[in-house]
Structure formats: C-alpha cells, structure tokens
Amino acid sequence: LVRYLSLITIVIDRIFQLQLEYNEEFISIES
C-alpha cells in the first residue's frame, strides 16, 4: 500500500510539473 501511495505521489508530481510547463508555453504564445 505504501509503495502504491508513493507511486501515485510521483505520478501526481510529474503531471503537476508538466502542467506548469504547458501553462508557461501557453502564456508565452498568448503574449
């Protein structure tokens, strides 16, 4: 269970970083 939980945490962190990068690119395209 702990291993599964840590895996989810890593995936969420990975998605969050990708989301930030995507937002930055989108903002640069907008301006």
3-state DSSP: the chain helix, strand, coil percent, rounded to 5?
A: 95, 0, 5
* pTM > 0.85: yes or no: no
Radius of gyration of the chain (CA): 14
The model's pLDDT over 1-31, given as tens digits with 9 standing for 90+, comes to 899 999 999 999 999 999 998 888 877 877 6
Compute the distance between CA of residue 8 and CA of residue 31 in angstroms, rounded to an integer.
Answer: 35
* Count of the separate structural domains present in the chain: 1
pLDDT of residue 17: 95
CA 10 from centroid of its chain's CA atoms: 9
Residues 6+ apart with CB under 8 A from 9: none
Q: What is the domain extent for residue 27?
A: 1-31
